[in-house]
């Protein structure tokens, strides 16, 4: 399990910059979350393809998830895309 607090503690013990360690931990947490969302998107796309339905919205969502690490402010500030059919 990745923890920001554990990253800070390790940084103090090893002499590493705490801010850098915190940023690395935040990036790992975001990537783990993104991987879970990508897996769910893949399942949705596969089910829609099996049914012969339109997958374009889910494919766009999946691409937006893939682009998350390129967002300005990543990993401290992430604008997570909304899955198709989910209202905010």
Q: From first to last of the 88 residues of the chain, give the pLDDT tens digit.
A: 557 777 677 777 778 777 788 888 899 999 999 999 999 999 999 999 999 999 999 999 999 999 999 999 999 999 999 999 875 5
Q: Say what the pLDDT of residue 88 is.
A: 57
pLDDT of residue 87: 57
CA atoms within 13 A on the CB side of 6: 7
How many Å apart are CA 2 and CA 20, to the nearest integer? Answer: 15
Nearest to 58 by CA among 81, 36, 83, 79: 83
Sequence ranges of the domains in the chain: 4-70
pLDDT computed for residue 49 by the predictor: 97
Length of the chain: 88
pLDDT at residue 82 in the model = 96
How far, in Å, CA of 77 to CA of 88, rounded?
Answer: 18
| Residue 50 confidence (pLDDT) | 96
15: left (phi over 0), alpha (psi -120 to 50) or beta: left
């Amino acid at each position: 399990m990745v923890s920001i607090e554990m990253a800070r503690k390790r940084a103090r013990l090893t002499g590493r910059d705490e801010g850098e360690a915190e940023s690395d931990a935040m990036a790992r947490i975001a990537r783990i979350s993104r991987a879970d969302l990508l897996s769910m998107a893949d399942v949705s796309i596969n089910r829609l393809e099996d049914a012969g339905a339109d997958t374009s919205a889910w494919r766009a969502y999946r691409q937006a998830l893939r682009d998350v690490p390129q967002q300005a402010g990543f990993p401290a500030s992430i604008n997570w895309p909304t899955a198709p059919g989910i209202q905010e």
